[in-house]
C-alpha cells in the first residue's frame, strides 16, 4: 500500500475509529468493574487512564514517523 494513497487514508481513519471506540468502551467498563469488585478505584482508574493514553501517544508517534519517512522517501536503518 503506497503512502498517502486513498486506501492508506481509509485504513488510517478506520484504525482511528477503532482506537476511539476501544478507549470509550474501556472508560465505561473499568469503573463499573471496579465498583462491582468493591475496589476504591480512583487510583486504579487513574493508573489505567495513564497507561491507556501512553499507548495511544506511542502509536501516534509511530504513525507520525512513518509519515515523515513516506514523505521523505527514505527509511531509517538502525544498526
Q: Name the domain count of the chain.
A: 1
Q: Does some domain include residue 11? A: no
Residue 41 lies in a domain: yes
pLDDT at res. 73? 66
Q: What pLDDT is stored for residue 75 in this prediction?
A: 55
Q: Residue 1: which residues within 8 A CB-CB, separation 6 or more?
A: 7, 8, 11
Average pLDDT per block of 10 residues along the chain, 79 residues long: 76 86 86 76 79 87 82 59
Q: Would you say residue 4 lies in a domain?
A: no
In a domain, 7, yes or no: no
3 belongs to a structural domain = no
Residue numbers of the domain that contains 47: 17-72
pLDDT at 74: 56
Residue 45 lies in a domain: yes
Helices (H), ranges, the chain: 6-37, 42-72
pTM: 0.63
Q: Specify if 77 maps to a domain.
A: no
10: in domain: no
Amino acid at each position: 500500500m503506497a503512502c498517502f494513497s486513498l486506501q492508506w487514508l481509509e485504513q488510517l481513519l478506520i484504525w482511528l475509529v477503532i482506537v476511539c471506540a476501544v478507549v470509550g468502551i474501556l472508560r465505561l467498563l473499568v469503573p463499573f468493574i471496579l465498583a462491582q469488585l468493591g475496589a476504591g478505584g480512583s487510583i486504579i482508574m487513574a493508573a489505567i487512564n495513564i497507561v491507556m493514553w501512553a499507548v495511544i501517544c506511542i502509536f501516534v508517534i509511530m504513525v507520525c514517523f512513518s509519515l515523515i519517512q513516506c514523505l521523505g522517501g527514505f527509511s531509517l536503518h538502525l544498526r
